Amino acid sequence: MFEVNLEKFKKYDKPGPRYTSYPTAPHFNEGFTHENYLDEILKTNYGEGLPDLSLYYHLPFCDTLCYFCGCNMVITRNRDRVKEYIKYLKKEIDLVRTYLLPDRKVSQLHWGGGTPTHLRPEEIDELASYIRQSFQFNDDSENGCEIDPRELKREHLEALRKNGFNRISMGVQDFNSKVQKAVNRIQPEDITRQTVQWVRELGFNSINLDLMYGLPFQTIESFADTVDKVIDISPDRIAVFNYAHVPWMKKHMSLIHAEDLPLPEIKLEILKMTIEKLTTAGYVFIGMDHFAKPDDDLAIALREKKLYRNFQGYSTNSGADLYAMGITAISQLHKVYAQNYKTEKEYFQALDNERIPVAKGYSLSDDDILRRDVIMKLMCNFELEFKPIEEKYKINFKEYFGWGLNNLKVMEHDELVYINADKIEVTQMGKLLIRNIAMNFDGYIERKEDTARYSRTV
């Protein structure tokens, strides 16, 4: 069983990046334009042995507002609005596709939101078929979609399966009715179980369920009941997210009353209980907030040190170029990040002008690329050997990262890391605080250039 030390949790519970990218999204700037992105696309579509493609499509629409939601979403029941958005997604596919070498294969596809299954089954078929016609897919590509069981029919899942989707992820958050009412997400247990049954009957390879701790009215006992039910459902993967109450960033979160949230010490106890229950039940702790069965691809990638991290979280698909489409979607090539416009109006206008709808982005420096490599190795492998980094980047590791290594001495004393002459190893407890460890190699934090407001690390 995974033993959790609450005193160490309390000591290191502070705001910090999630490192789905480095540099992190707050550093993106509007000086990065369509032309900067297009230049990098052309550079990375030249030569042989190019990496595979990872495709992400942002489908922002939802039927109702979940008060805890931190995603970029649009609440609408206007079907014409959805149809117009699909039309423009096709425009973006056509535009991006003209710049990519035709023989590049897709190894990963993901639809996120919002709620992709807000689309009707025939709209899912229309968009998915168009993507299939526009790109070549590897036979073993990983194709995932986020769904919402509350507005789902079996036909939605049939449309996804017909078009090659093999992974499903859906939110549960909490089965407790009082909690559900407080966050405006009424999702009875039987609906979730019915959806899981359909997913399995239709032959999807994997299902992930999302939980969230720190929501109003949660107690250790009530959330333990939810965790037990999820263990009984037995999904392949489980994500356990920390609710970050940031009403200054997401105005709708003010609909959640701060006085109803569990006290910080209760929240930590809930997390401790959850981790210990899941690991006792046989789930492998992958990193941060992800758990998987031992035979799941994520657990295998962790053992084989092939785990990867991007804007969708932990993944098995390292090295692919990520092309993300739709409003707010973030693409990642080797040296750039590019984020699309946030509003439909700006997004549509750019595409009408035959421009990739980039609102802002970032061009990485050599220092950024080096630090990204170090941070991602720590986040994914939970160890870091100095020599390969020194040989690859022609640096003296201990001199270059003297600030971070000095900070790690306290963490070494607290048994979060072991440091010797050759490498850093993250301990079991350190894996739970990996964001705190990674922050010591963040150049923007070291130079005090990072003023963003982040969620807390625990």
Cα–Cα distance measured from residue 84 to residue 330, given in angstroms and rounded to the nearest whole number: 21
- Phi, psi (degrees; rounded to nearest 5) at 110: -145, 135
Give dist(CA 456, CA 439) in Å, integer. Answer: 13
Tell me whether strands 423-426 and 417-419 are parallel, antiparallel or unpaired.
antiparallel
What CATH number does residue 149 fall under? 3.80.30.20
Q: Does residue 194 lie in a domain region?
A: yes
**What integer pLDDT is reported at residue 76 of this predicted model?**
87
The structure's pTM equals 0.94
Residues 320 and 403 in one domain: no
235 in the same domain as 90: yes
The residue among 152, 41, 59, 76 whose CA lies nearest residue 114 is: 59
Sheet with 237-242, edge to edge strand ranges: 284-287, 290-292, 237-242, 206-213, 167-173, 136-147, 105-113, 53-59, 321-325, 330-332, 336-340, 358-363
The CATH number for 434's domain is 1.10.10.920
Residue 241 lies in a domain: yes
Same domain as 265, residue 310: yes
Domain match, 301 and 401 both? no
* Residue 238 within any structural domain of the chain: yes
Tell me, yes or no, whether 289 lies in a domain: yes
Nearest to 40 by CA among 372, 369, 363, 365: 363
Query: Do 225 and 135 reside in the same domain of the chain?
Result: yes
Is residue 41 located within the same domain as residue 148? yes
Q: Is the same domain home to 47 and 9? A: no
pLDDT in tens, the chain (458 residues): 677 778 877 888 888 888 989 999 999 999 999 999 999 999 999 888 899 999 999 999 999 999 888 888 888 889 999 999 999 999 999 999 999 999 999 999 999 989 999 999 999 999 999 999 999 999 999 999 999 999 899 999 999 999 999 999 999 999 999 999 999 999 999 999 999 999 999 999 999 999 999 999 999 999 999 999 999 999 999 999 999 888 888 889 989 999 999 998 899 899 999 999 999 999 999 988 899 999 999 999 999 988 888 887 888 877 899 999 999 999 999 899 999 999 999 999 999 999 999 999 999 999 999 999 999 999 999 999 999 999 999 999 999 999 999 999 999 999 999 999 999 999 988 998 999 999 999 999 999 987 777 777 77
- What is the pairing mode between strands 206-213 and 167-173? parallel
Q: Which of 271, 304, 325 is the last residue of a domain?
A: 325
> Of 320, 339, 309, 331, whose CA–CA distance to 104 is shortest?
320
The parent domain of residue 118 ranges over: 24-325
| Amino acid occupying residue 264 | P
Task: Check if the beta carbon of residue 70 is closer than 8 Å to that of residue 210.
Answer: no
pLDDT (0 to 100) of residue 193: 98
Per the domain annotation, does 347 fall within a domain?
Answer: no
Taking the alpha carbons at both ends of the chain, their separation in whole angstroms is: 20
Q: Do 232 and 260 share a domain, yes or no?
A: yes
According to the model, what pLDDT value does residue 319 have?
83
DSSP run (H or E) holding 310: strand 308-310
Please give the angle made by the CA atoms of 393, 396 and 400, to the nearest 5 degrees: 90
- Per DSSP, 298 falls in state H
- Domain count across the chain: 2
pLDDT of residue 1: 64
Q: Say how far apart CA 90 and CA 124 lie, in whole Å.
A: 13
Are 224 and 89 in a shared domain? Answer: yes
- Same domain for 302 and 434, yes or no, is no
- 407 with 262, same domain? no
State whether 4 and 97 are in the same domain: no
